[in-house]
Amino acid sequence: MIGASLLGAALLHFKAAKARAEANLEVYLTGSVGVGEHPDLVNELIELTKTITEAEEAIKFLERKL
């Protein structure tokens, strides 16, 4: 069914976005790599947290639709 394929693709998108944000967050919290590029580290952490929580909500929604 094409609808399920589209929902599945959207689900994969949000899972990847969440994984990417979590990986970046881990780098910022555990190492100095990348810190020099982002002088406003708190804002970067806030944005990554928003990305993770938004992705989690989208994942929950899409999983209910599948």
Q: What is the pLDDT of residues 5-64, one digit of tens each?
A: 999 999 999 999 999 999 999 988 887 665 666 678 889 899 999 999 999 999 999 999
Q: Where are the domains of the chain?
A: 2-65
pTM of the model: 0.86
Helix (H, G, I), strand (E, B) or coil at 1: coil
Please provide the DSSP assignment of 3-55 as one string. HHHHHHHHHHHHHHHHHHHHHHHHHHHH-STTTTT-S-HHHHHHHHHHHHHHH
> What angle is formed at CA 28 by the lines to CA 22 and CA 32, rounded to 5 degrees?
150
